[in-house]
Structure 1
Amino acid sequence: MAAIVARENLTYKRWDFPNCAGRIVNMDEDLRAVGERIRSLMPGELSQRSLAERAGMKPDALSRALNGQRGFSSQELAHIADVIGADLHWLVTGAVDPRRVRIAARHAWDSDRGVRVNPGRAHDEELLGHVVHAYNAAFPDGPPPSAPLSDDPADMGATLGGSFVRKFGSVVESRLGVDVIRLPMLSTDYSLTIGSRAIILLATTPNWFRSNWSLAHELAHLALGHHGGDQAPGEAEELPADEFAAHLLLPEELVRQHDWQAMGEQGLARFLWETGVSTIAAKNRLAKLNIRYSTEVAVALKQSTPVAVRADAGDERGTFERRRAIILRQQESSTRAMPPILAEALQRRVEDGAVSPEDLAWVLDVSVDEIDFPEPDDSAAMAQAYRQAFENRPSHADLEAWLAANGKPAR
Structure 2
Amino acid sequence: MEAWVDSVGERIRSRMTPGLSQRQLAAQVGMTPDAMSRALSGQRGFASIELAKIADVIGEDVYWLITGQRDPLRVDVAARHAWDPMRSQRVNPGRENDEEIIRNVIRAYHQAHPDGPPSSVELPKRPEDVRRMLGDGFVRPFAAAVERRLGVDVVRVPNLSTDYSMRIGDRGVILLASTPHWFRSNWSLAHEIGHLALGHHANSVHAMQNERPADTFAASLLLPTPLVHSVDWNGIDGSGLAGFLWNTGVSTEVLRHRLSSLRIGVHDKVHSWLREPTQRLLRAHVDVLSDDDKWGDPLVDRERDSSARMFPLGVLAALRDRVEAGNAAPDLLAWVLDVPVDEIDFPEPDEDAEAEAYDRVLSDRLSAAEWAGALRTGKPQTLA
Same fold (TM over 0.5): yes
| 1:158 correspondence with 2:132 | yes
Instruction: State the SS of the aligned residue for 1:166.
Output: coil
Tell me if the contact between 1:313 and 1:322 (Cα under 8 Å) persists in the aligned partners: no
Instruction: State the AA in 2 paired with 1:307.
Output: R
Q: Percent of aligned positions with the same letter in both sequences?
A: 52
State the distance in 1 between where 2:278 and 2:72 align.
41
Tell me if the contact between 2:183 and 2:251 (Cα under 8 Å) persists in the aligned partners: yes
| 1:122 correspondence with 2:99 | no
Partner of 2:380: none
Tell me if the contact between 2:76 and 2:201 (Cα under 8 Å) persists in the aligned partners: yes
Instruction: State the SS of the aligned residue for 1:127.
Output: helix
State the distance in 1 between where 2:29 and 2:182 align.
50
State the distance in 2 between where 1:229 and 1:251 align.
27
State the distance in 1 between where 2:94 and 2:239 align.
38
Instruction: State the AA in 1 paired with 2:6.
Output: R
Partner of 2:185: 211
Partner of 1:225: 199
Deviates most, 277-286 or 128-137:
128-137
> What does 1:171-210 align with in structure 2 at a 5 Å threshold?
171-210=145-184
Partner of 1:21: none
Partner of 1:407: none
Q: 1:399 to 1:224 in 2, by over 3 A?
A: closer
Q: Give the alignment partner of residue 57 of structure 2, picking from 83, 89, 92.
A: 83
> What does 1:250-269 align with in structure 2 at a 5 Å threshold?
250-269=223-242
Instruction: State the SS of the aligned residue for 2:90.
Output: strand
Q: Displacement, 1:211?
A: 0.9
Partner of 1:94: 68
Partner of 2:108: 134
Q: CA RMSD in A?
A: 2.6
Q: 1:85 to 1:248 in 2, by over 3 A?
A: same
State the distance in 2 between where 1:340 and 1:400 align.
62
Deviation readout 1:165-215 (Å, 9 max, x if unpaired): 101111111111111111111111111122222111111111111111011
> What does 1:323-362 align with in structure 2 at a 5 Å threshold?
324-362=297-335
Instruction: State the SS of the aligned residue for 1:103.
Output: strand
Instruction: State the SS of the aligned residue for 2:139.
Output: helix
Instruction: State the SS of the aligned residue for 2:242.
Output: helix
State the distance in 2 between where 1:221 and 1:299 align.
33
| 1:62 correspondence with 2:36 | yes
Partner of 2:16: 42
Q: Displacement, 1:69?
A: 1.9
Partner of 2:379: none
Instruction: Name the count of aligned residue pairs.
Output: 374
Instruction: State the AA in 2 paired with 1:281.
Output: V
> What does 1:320-399 align with in structure 2 at a 5 Å threshold?
324-392=297-365, 398=370
State the distance in 1 between where 2:56 and 2:372 align.
70
Deviation readout 1:137-170 (Å, 9 max, x if unpaired): 2222222222111111111111111111101111
Partner of 1:7: none
State the distance in 2 between where 1:322 and 1:365 align.
27
- Name stretches of at least 5 consecutive residues in structure 1 with no aligned partner: 1-25, 403-409
Q: Displacement, 1:61?
A: 2.0
State the distance in 2 between where 1:235 and 1:326 align.
34
Q: Displacement, 1:392?
A: 4.2
Flag the structure with larger Rg: 1
Partner of 2:218: 245
TM-score normalised to the size of structure 1? 0.85
Q: Give the alignment partner of residue 86 of structure 2, picking from 112, 121, 129.
A: 112
Partner of 1:170: 144
Q: Give the alignment partner of residue 271 of structure 2, picking from 271, 294, 298.
A: 298
Deviation readout 1:327-380 (Å, 9 max, x if unpaired): 010011112211212211110110110122111101000011111111112333
Deviates most, 204-213 or 94-103:
94-103
| 1:281 correspondence with 2:254 | yes
Deviation readout 1:15-51 (Å, 9 max, x if unpaired): xxxxxxxxxxx2x211010010011011222222222
State the distance in 1 between where 2:204 and 2:177 align.
25
State the distance in 1 between where 2:92 and 2:8 align.
37
Greater RCO (Cα-Cα under 8 Å, separation 6 or more): 2
Instruction: State the SS of the aligned residue for 1:329.
Output: helix
Instruction: State the SS of the aligned residue for 2:353.
Output: helix
TM-score normalised to the size of structure 2? 0.90
Q: Displacement, 1:295?
A: 3.5
